[in-house]
A and B are shown apart, each in its own frame.
Chain A
Amino acid sequence: MRTRSLTKLAALGFAGTLALSACGSSGSSGGGLNNDGGSGGGGDATYTIAFEGPLSGDYQQLGINEVNGVQLAIDQANAKGDLGFKLKLMKADDGGDPAKAPAAAAQVLQDKTVVGVIGPSFSGATKAVGNIYGDAGMTVITPSASNPSLSTLGFKTFHRIVPNDNVEGSQAAVWLAKKAKKVYVINDLSDYGDGVANAVQEGLKKAGVKIIKQGVAGGGATKDYGTAAAAVKNSGAAAMFYAGYDADAAQLATALKAAGYKGIRIGGNGIKSSVFTDSSKKAGDGWYMSCGCLDATVAPAAKQFTADYKAAFNTDPSTYSPEAFDAANALIEAIKAAKAGGGVTLASVNEAVNALNYTGITATIKFQEDGEIVPENQVVNLFQQKGGAITLLGNILEQK
């Protein structure tokens, strides 16, 4: 009797938890496929460009920024009408989660009209599916996955159009070395934070700057940044670099303000987001951000893009929208080249991507052997939060 009631209760408990997690995700799910399969029967062939990224969950906003950029590129290309083929978009939702990425990749690969993928948005997800796409010969251009190791893992069809964290970190170090003789580097102990922190530290060491290292667990694990902030203040360092993500950085910003730290505060692309500005409020003003990305709302090269984006989606383009737009346009260029060169197959498209030399709004896209943009075309920009808004200061190497 005793055991039976226990089993019953345990079952109840489990059922409750399951029901709960189901309702937790039901509200935001529904990314999935929206292609109706099959290529155009009549005149022109139809090719599909797939987007893989987070279209639900915590990181949904980033995925929406990107998929809108891709959608815009496709719509514009179709509207021009000189392609000789039709383009379609397929959305594959991976939630930014490495565990969900293989299923998203499988969805993409099932559709035989897909000739290339924009994405995945996140480094972890990219790691999880790099080989799946590689083995299928499906070309991949990521507009935002910035972990340096991605181009060294032997993914056969991997391309990225943003500078990786090593490039970003070392250029941030060059800038910091101009401003400070002693820099405090806080690492959130994540894969991303570790990578950026190492790149920054290496760059600073080369420039002869004194470094103080500190690890403070991020991802919500640290709730009270008071002691960390007091340590930064006490160190007397003229600058502080935070290698981690937006939500944690916002808490650090608040704590640094409380501690009265007046030095330079800077973080990498992980903190350049509305989460940081919304949550740090005034404490975030004055913070710098380095990012291998463009602020489409102010950059002159992106004026037309910004206007078109706003007209299409009724909102300003945000972080990584221009990069996704560029990646999609580059892929479209490659499809055109493949068609001109004989026929559009996965292999010919991938080859065409490798051979690209396409000037987009964020950078001139020309890939090296390993899928990175050639170094001379990698641009890292410096941003600063002013009055609660992130503003572009320009190429970080040109900043005083």
Chain B
Amino acid sequence: MNDFLNYLLLGLTRGSMYAVIALGYTLVYGVLQLINFAHSEVFMSGAFASYLAVTRFVKEGDRPAWYIVVALILMGLLVGAAVGAAVAWTLERVAYRPLRRRGAPKLAFLISAIGASFFLSQLAGKMFNRLTSNTFPEYFNRDKAVISVGGVNLTLIQAIVIGSAVVMMIFLDRLVSGTKLGRAIRGVAEDAPTAALMGIDIDKTISRTFMIGGALGGAAGFLFGTQLVFGNTMGFIPGVKAFAAAVLGGIGNIRGAMLGGLLLGVVESLVPTFPWWHESGWVGQQWTDVVAFVILVMVLLFRPSGILGERLGRAA
């Protein structure tokens, strides 16, 4: 039971990361019916940017006081979010808007997205390095147990990841369901021409949607880099997984992306080692990705529009 709960926590940590990234895919899909394949590079740029910011203040081996650590984490999240938003905005301007203006077919958007993705990942490789395993300095004890009940440990970094993800998800949910901008996003998602007639500036709304998704992705980049490793190719795998999570929950559906992300993370961490929690189990860890995608296929077989369905217009 303890083992189960420990794995569940590992899964929730992984899943909340997926969920936050998945939101970026789902938001853009909601307004444009377009898979933004360069979103994984937005995520990557958030990690690099926050690394540069954080290492201005701490280096390896430093152990600043707790309030400085809190400030650094908040700064990391904000810098990651700001740069993510900026990259996403630029991306929309350079890679998508010109195509939209000319009414290009969907395929062109896809190619453009893949080109932009290559460009950003190689650019980061050129500017920084091409290692896959860069790490943030360890300026606080990430593995300290904050809650420890009978062998079940929630470590500090897990608490930070899950906590930040929950805050971001609630914030986004409120933003989309309760603000004017949110209403505009939902309007464009439901019926863009009609929304335009109602006085909504479509270009501006799309641009802002990209920035919101980008900010979430960039902040997730910081969390990912702080917990694990980062590098110029780091975006691809979490990006694919998060995209799968978005589809699993129902693409275009914000709560669906959250649910899909968490579910995928938990399944990935629980199924392969079930039921012995250490040996190969019935499945084995090398099958992790297979398990995740088999579940995706099964869900789509029975519910082609995802668990919560594609509620494009009613994004929340």
Interface residues in chain A, defined as those with a beta carbon under 8 Å from any beta carbon in chain B: 2, 5-6, 9-10, 13, 16-17, 20-21, 23-24, 27, 58, 189, 212-217, 220-224, 226-228, 230-236, 247-248, 250-251, 254, 257-258, 260, 275, 279, 281-282
Residue picked from A231, A275, A281, A282, most chain B C-beta under 10 Å = A231
Contact (Cβ within 8 A) A21 B10: no
Which listed residue, B10, B131, B224, touches A227 by the CB 8 Å rule? B10
23 contacts between A and B (CB under 8 A): A6-B104, A16-B115, A17-B119, A24-B126, A214-B279, A220-B233, A221-B289, A223-B229, A224-B14, A224-B228, A227-B268, A227-B269, A227-B285, A230-B3, A230-B10, A231-B278, A234-B3, A250-B229, A251-B133, A254-B229, A258-B142, A279-B229, A281-B138
Instruction: For residue B107, give the distance in angstroms from its CB to the closest CB of chain A.
Output: 7
- Contacts A5-B104, A13-B115, A221-B237 given; does A23 touch B126 at CB 8 Å: yes
Contact (Cβ within 8 A) A235 B118: no
Does residue B33 face the partner (Cβ distance < 8 Å to A)? no
- Contacts A10-B111, A224-B14 given; does A258 touch B155 at CB 8 Å: yes
Contact (Cβ within 8 A) B104 A281: no
Contact (Cβ within 8 A) A9 B237: no
Contact (Cβ within 8 A) B143 A260: yes
Other than the given A58-B130, A213-B280, A226-B269, 9 more pairs (CB < 8 A) read A16-B115, A16-B119, A216-B285, A217-B286, A220-B132, A220-B231, A226-B13, A231-B285, A281-B60
- In chain A, what residue has the closest Cβ to B123? A20
Query: Interface residues of A: mostly helix, strand, loop or mixed?
Result: helix
- Contacts A234-B3, A234-B277 given; does A279 touch B285 at CB 8 Å: no
What band does the interface of chain B fall in when counting residues whose beta carbon is under 8 Å from A?
A: 35 or more
Residues from chain B with a CB closer than 8 A to the CB of A260 are 143
Residue picked from A215, A226, A250, most chain B C-beta under 10 Å = A226
Residues from chain B with a CB closer than 8 A to the CB of A5 are 102, 104, 108
Contact (Cβ within 8 A) B280 A214: yes
- In chain A, what residue has the closest Cβ to B6? A230
Which listed residue, B135, B143, B278, touches A212 by the CB 8 Å rule? B278
Contact (Cβ within 8 A) A214 B284: yes
State which residues 113-147 of B face A: CB under 8 Å.
114-115, 118-119, 122, 125-126, 130-135, 138, 142-143
Contact (Cβ within 8 A) B131 A13: no
- Give A235 to B114 CA distance when docked, in angstroms: 42
- Give A226 to B7 CA distance when docked, in angstroms: 9
- Give A222 to B237 CA distance when docked, in angstroms: 8
- Contacts A214-B284, A223-B234 given; does A6 touch B108 at CB 8 Å: yes
Residues from chain B with a CB closer than 8 A to the CB of A23 are 122, 126
- Give A13 to B116 CA distance when docked, in angstroms: 9
